[in-house]
Structure 1
């Protein structure tokens, strides 16, 4: 098999393999790197594949083992620390390496032969809450759960791919399910990723408008009384070196007020998008010295019963995968509060 034929054979599986590695690692960048490593390993072992129909399962085995090898080399990434017992810690603040995924990853993640029910399961298995819960599983349990419960593989197939016995797979799966029940939100149906809805679109538009208008009253009116807001550790100085979070609408208002009110209040611009099946917005801060909108972060919202239940703020470096630049020129904008929006 020459390289061109090999490339055509394996690249049709690239999107779903990226989603698989993303579930294993919770990082889009690492998932993309591991898929490329999978293709390199597959090229080196290309003589071992005899039937084109077996390529998908063969690639999944290589990709899963590549992820397990990655986690063995990075023990600090193997299992996330437990969140606070009251569940107050938002997702972005609970797993330092968590990265949001652009909507196109979810849209193209499923296998070509997937049924509509398969598509729903796989999309829900890309939501942030589920990804964070997966990171609390030991790597091999994580792999077993993803292959068996998300991909729907038979226990024997999972055992063959992970060099385990069927009894070992079933035991690992039972422990994984028990752990997931502890780390997923109590009412699972409230957290399931959903298709874009009018309620979500309207709420995101009001969130954008209130933030750009620095209207703290309108902004906090969009929040549940027990809402949570969390930030990842900053990678570019916009946020601190440690994750931070606020629990409760009143606490969030107190935290936001200094930045949104007064003569020195920040001037912000938001661009709507979606991440992991949830409404989101790229956030830009007006810089008076450069006359530019500079990337401030990516806010991913979770909506429950028509109000925002959780806001996860990610670092500015997350914007380019969503097609959003780090600097947004504003020709003609003077940078004042009245014109910089």
Structure 2
């Protein structure tokens, strides 16, 4: 069956090419996301990889599976993107009427974006994978990956996350097994100091419910009672980062003290609870200002991340909600909008759409 599809695709049959590659599309997008930390960049890299695969299918010799061959192409495109100088820069504070407190530090991974759970590939990782599915897509892990040199990042994801054998990884990267083994050792050492990925608990749902109640009521004291002592807050693409209950409390007090009030709409991102944040306006309408992710550590919240409102469409969330008394049309829980997003090409050159 695969040989027939390859033969037809080589003859210019776009439908055959799509049938050949579609079973791997979702996992390839997740792979590109781990490599790049940005959903939009991942989709761009995936589109480039599929186009390269279409154009280079004549050179496929069958020595590796189609899946492995596609991973090789996608990894190369991601490495090229990582080495490019055009990553999105940090953005200045842009919330009117609010003066943020002094941050604990300025973050460097300002291009980070959340990934909708609805787009995650349900397929299990490879037999040699060292990371569980949830940890392998968590924001803490993806952020830590971005700090690795590009080649070490590629080796660690291919070996420890996806479970590809060392020989296959060496072939993907035009390298040797010894070089891959050395890069993997350095990459693992580079991750040792990262923040651990906490686990949830049976009380997690109750904690999230209390978080929503406190946030929507602008109750800073109730919010702080839910946080760990070393809670961490970030807000890409703004580089401001706050570490500890008191700094996070001062930030929340500045937001709520300016009179800003929000309604939260639940979704999920990177295997954890997330919420579209909608600012209440005097007219009664509510404007989408961002997406907040919540990381749980037992019965407390250990991390909060706030992303810009531009990511809301990826989660199937609208740019605004109507005022009270008017029904809002929201996606069913767990559903995400299809990519690419606004302003990005929906098709590739060449026969058909991939």
Q: Offset of 1:331 from its aligned partner?
A: 4.8
Aligned to 1:43: 54
CA distance in 1, matches of 2:270, 2:232: 18
1:260 to 241, 256, 259: 256
Q: Offset of 1:198 from its aligned partner?
A: 3.9
1:125 to 136, 144, 150: 136
2:310 to 314, 317, 327: 317
1:96 to 97, 103, 110: 110
Aligned residues: 300
Q: Deviations over 1:88-141 (max 9, x none)?
A: 659xx44101001111233x2536xx5799697233211111111111111111
Aligned to 2:331: none
CA distance in 1, matches of 2:86, 2:310: 24
Structure 1 runs of 4+ off > 4 angstroms? 50-53, 114-120
Change (3 A) 1:175 1:258: closer
Name the SS for the 1:266 alignment partner: coil
Conservation of the 8 A alpha-carbon contact between 2:35 and 2:154: yes
Conservation of the 8 A alpha-carbon contact between 1:193 and 1:278: no
Change (3 A) 1:254 1:69: closer
Q: Deviations over 1:232-260 (max 9, x none)?
A: 23xxxxxxxx4222222223222222432
Q: Offset of 1:312 from its aligned partner?
A: 0.9
Aligned to 2:162: 151
Aligned to 2:95: none
Change (3 A) 1:16 1:41: same
Conservation of the 8 A alpha-carbon contact between 1:141 and 1:172: yes
Q: TM-score, normalised by structure 2?
A: 0.78
CA distance in 2, matches of 1:19, 1:207: 29
CA distance in 1, matches of 2:127, 2:30: 17
CA distance in 1, matches of 2:127, 2:84: 37
Aligned to 2:205: 201
Aligned to 1:163: 174
Aligned to 1:105: 119
Conservation of the 8 A alpha-carbon contact between 1:110 and 1:122: no
Name the SS for the 2:318 alignment partner: coil
| Highest RCO, 1 vs 2 (Cα 8 Å, sep ≥ 6) | 2
Name the SS for the 1:319 alignment partner: helix
Change (3 A) 1:330 1:119: farther
CA distance in 1, matches of 2:295, 2:255: 22
CA distance in 2, matches of 1:9, 1:34: 19
Q: TM-score, normalised by structure 1?
A: 0.81
Q: Offset of 1:27 from its aligned partner?
A: 0.5
Structure 2's unaligned 5+ residue stretches are 1-7, 89-103, 327-354
> Cα RMSD over matched residues?
2.5
